[in-house]
């Protein structure tokens, strides 16, 4: 296994557990195999395992895996996708990024656009932001009334139960960075011309709402971490540690799923290729 129960349980939020993100240290390196170099080597081994497990899932074509990534701005969602899924078969892996809803999407229920991009059998789908924006940004910016977004926790739980009942395993990561680390990453984006496209002045306005977002995330994680679709709060100030944690959880999750290569449809025991 990628890690014993106590290892991944360290970051997993139990169902109905109260969440105070102030009690989760974004710089915490507890559990790492060693320093950055040793942990990087351990991550490389995990990614090789992930590659093989994804190949089996794709070949089996009976179940799916949905990976949800949420974070504050500059929290490392793009970097996690780029690193952790670098070796998987692109045929069986899709990334969906959820931005501001279009007029057509707004004309439907908030889960309409989400259901269209959930993974098919055999696939891994990665949500870079997700349906959780509808209990985060809409709450912080008062886009919809409290009585609307408050009911969405139960609707999200029902939606994720529907997915798991149909054979999709759901695993959710909150990449937890500190406010100081966010500031440092913003500065680096401004300092590097090739990174400036990722920065917008609105990011600074959102930064002023840090405490409101932390409260919204804490409630969302607490109310929607279930046995079937758990949340993991990942200390993410150190990118190398973040990648190791996410890889550890994903490998363990897929090993528990234990996908298998299917048997050939025909008897090949007497086939000879000349």
pLDDT tens for each residue of 36-94: 999 999 999 999 999 999 999 999 999 999 999 999 999 999 999 999 999 999 999 99
pTM of the entire structure? 0.94
Q: Which residue has the tokens 């607490």?
A: 222
pLDDT of residue 194: 87
What's the pLDDT score for residue 263? Answer: 85
Rounded-to-integer distance, Cα 241 and Cα 9, Å? 16
Query: How high is the pLDDT of residue 268?
Result: 77
What pLDDT shows up at residue 7?
A: 79
pLDDT at site 195: 86
* Cα–Cα distance, 54 to 44 (Å, whole number): 15
Phi, psi of 95 (to 5 degrees): -115, 130
Low-confidence ranges of the chain (pLDDT < 50): 1-4
Which tokens hold the place of 139? 């709450």
The pLDDT, as a whole number, for residue 265 is 78
Map residue 256 onto helix, strand or coil: helix
- Assign a CATH topology to domain 5-257: Rossmann fold (3.40.50)
Dist CA 12 CA 10 (whole Å): 6
Taking the mean position of all CA atoms in its chain, how far away is CA 101?
20
Q: Considering only CA atoms, which of 21, 34, 114, 30 is closest in space to residue 71?
A: 21
Residues paired with residue 235 on neighbouring β-strands, in sequence order: 176
């Amino acid at each position: 296994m990628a890690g014993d129960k106590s290892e991944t349980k360290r970051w997993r939020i139990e169902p109905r557990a109260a969440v105070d993100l102030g009690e989760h240290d974004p710089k915490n390196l507890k559990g790492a195999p060693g320093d950055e170099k040793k942990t990087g080597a351990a991550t490389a081994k995990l990614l090789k395992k992930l590659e093989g497990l994804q190949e089996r899932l794709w070949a089996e074509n009976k179940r799916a895996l949905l990976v949800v990534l949420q974070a504050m701005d500059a929290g490392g969602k793009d970097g996690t996708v780029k690193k952790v899924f670098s070796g998987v078969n692109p045929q069986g892996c899709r990334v969906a990024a959820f931005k501001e809803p279009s007029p057509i999407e707004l004309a439907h229920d908030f889960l309409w656009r989400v259901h269209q991009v959930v993974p098919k059998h055999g696939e891994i789908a990665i949500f870079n932001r997700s349906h959780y924006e509808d209990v985060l940004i809409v709450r912080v910016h008062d886009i919809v009334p409290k009585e609307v977004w408050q009911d969405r926790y139960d609707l999200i739980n029902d939606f994720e139960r529907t997915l798991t009942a149909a054979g999709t395993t759901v695993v959710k990561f909150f990449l937890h960075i500190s406010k100081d680390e966010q500031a440092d990453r913003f500065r680096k984006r401004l300092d590097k011309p090739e990174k400036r496209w990722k920065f917008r002045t609105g990011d600074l306005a959102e930064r002023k709402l840090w405490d409101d977002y932390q409260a919204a995330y804490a409630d969302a994680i607490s109310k929607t971490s279930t046995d079937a679709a758990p949340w993991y709060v990942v200390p993410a100030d150190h990118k190398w540690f973040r990648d190791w944690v996410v890889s550890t959880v994903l490998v363990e999750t897929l090993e528990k799923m234990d996908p298998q290569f299917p048997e050939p449809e025909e008897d090949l025991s007497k086939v000879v290729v000349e």
